Structure 1
Amino acid sequence: MAGPQVAASDASGASDAEGLIWRDGAFHGDVWVRAADGEALTERPVVLSKKRWLAERDALDGRNTPIALRLEPGEGIDDLSADLPRFALIALSFPKFNDGRAFSAATLLRQKHGYAGELRAVGNVLTDQIPLMRRVGFDTFEVVHAPTRRALLEGRIPEVKLHYQPAVAHEPPAGTRPWLRRSGG
């Protein structure tokens, strides 16, 4: 029996009705608009680069719509710690499969800085990485990779029950080896 059909309206295989954002087991539309540096802002919730945020932070103080931040790999977080409560969403970029710096950034945001807002993985988000992304605190995923979209639509998310590294959420240690972690789920 064939799985559900994915209506292709762009290169990702996503239709407007499905959206690109994977959250809580389903695809949703995205209310956020990514604004390029120098581009005029609309009244919609907007995602800004770190460079633009730092340059325009004071001017954006009176803005009545939510602001989000997009961080590229290698962009520091520590200089933004006082600003983090102002962001409803932080998007961390995965530009390619083998660049995992956003995993570390997510862990730092959740554990060191106590960021409690939405944390989104954007870029090269692949099926095999999603369980690990969840462990470090990602809530939502911008999925443009067509095979990953199909796998998620069909409920094919790999499950990893034993881990060597701790997770952001509480988890009981494995019984025979306390350094080995077991998922709570």
Structure 2
Amino acid sequence: MPEQRTLIVGRHVVEDDWTLLLEDEAPHSVNGRAIVPLAQWQAAPGDDVAPLLASDTELTPELATQLLGAPLIAIDFPKFTDGRGYSLARLLRERYGYQGQIRAVGDVLIDQLYYMSRCGFDAFWLREDQIVEDALNALDTFSLSYQPGTDTPEPLFRRRMRESA
């Protein structure tokens, strides 16, 4: 049976109505919505099925165009030290204009949430040993960011120059 974990969306803990399925599980084995590996989603996309991108997914323009129709996109972090998912989220938001939910799944730790949110993630499926209250606080770790992100596309020095003009 697929596991359920704590889900944070928009800085709130919410009930997750999506089930993450592995390679050997079929979407019809659950009641409701399922997140499935990319190849499985490509074979049968729909409103109740969403793709799971492995961290080594090559995000080509053709694939990005397909993903624009997905109800949500989950990106796997097989280890917390694997940062390729950050790049996938940022490309989906900035280069390809994906507007739906981008969810971090896998080895997701509270230390990463602030940086993930700056790269375009807006939903976080926490590793089960993480403390929810700490995770919510981690989203507000810093009040200002120097560099641009998907949440603030203008770097701090430009904001300050504009405000002082």
Deviations 1:14-73 (A, max 9, x none): xx8xx510123332221112233353322522212112234x2xxx25x5x422110111
Question: May I ask how many residue pairs the two structures share in their alignment?
Answer: 155
Distance 1:108-1:173 versus aligned 2 partners, 3 A rule: closer
1:123 is aligned, of 99, 106, 123, to 106
The residue that corresponds to 1:23 in the other structure is: 9
The C-alpha deviation readout for 1:92-151, integer Å capped at 9, x for no partner, is 111112111000010000011111110001111112211111111111100124244351
Distance in 2 (alpha carbons) for counterparts of 1:164 and 1:156: 18
2:6–2:125 CA contact under 8 A, matched in 1:
yes
Cα distance in 1 between the residues matched to 2:41 and 2:81: 28
1:146 maps to a residue whose letter is D
Structure 1: tracts of 5 or more residues without a match: 1-11, 181-185
Equivalent of 2:90 in 60, 83, 107:
107
Query: The residue matched to 1:76 in structure 2 has which SS?
Result: coil
Q: Find the aligned partners of 1:116 and 1:125 in 2 and give their Cα distance.
A: 22
1:163 offset after TM fit, Å?
Answer: 3.9
The 1:173–1:166 alpha-carbon spacing in structure 2 relative to 1, beyond 3 Å, is: closer
Distance 1:170 1:151 in 2: 23
Q: List 4+ stretches of structure 1 deviating above 6 A.
A: none
Q: Is residue 56 of structure 2 the alignment partner of residue 74 of structure 1?
A: yes
Corresponding residue number in structure 2 for 1:169: 151
Structure 1 residue 165 displacement after superposition: 3.4
Q: Note the C-alpha offset of 1:164.
A: 4.8
- C-alpha contact 2:110 2:135 (8 A) present in aligned 1: yes
Residues in 2 aligned to 1:171 and 1:90: alpha-carbon distance in whole angstroms: 22
Alignment identity in percent?
31
Q: Partner amino acid for 1:149?
A: V
Structure 1 counterpart of 2:75: 92
Residue 35 of structure 2 is aligned to residue 53 of structure 1: no
Moved more, 36-45 or 65-74: 36-45
Mapped partners of 1:92, 1:156: distance in 2: 20
Alpha-carbon contact 1:67-1:86 (below 8 Å) kept: no
**Equivalent-residue separation in structure 2 for 1:151 and 1:117 (angstroms):** 26
Preserved CA contact (<8 Å) 1:68 1:87 = yes
Q: Return the TM-score normalized by structure 1.
A: 0.71
Corresponding residue SS for 2:135: helix
- Give secondary structure in 2 for the equivalent of 1:81: helix
Distance 2:153 2:128 in 1: 31
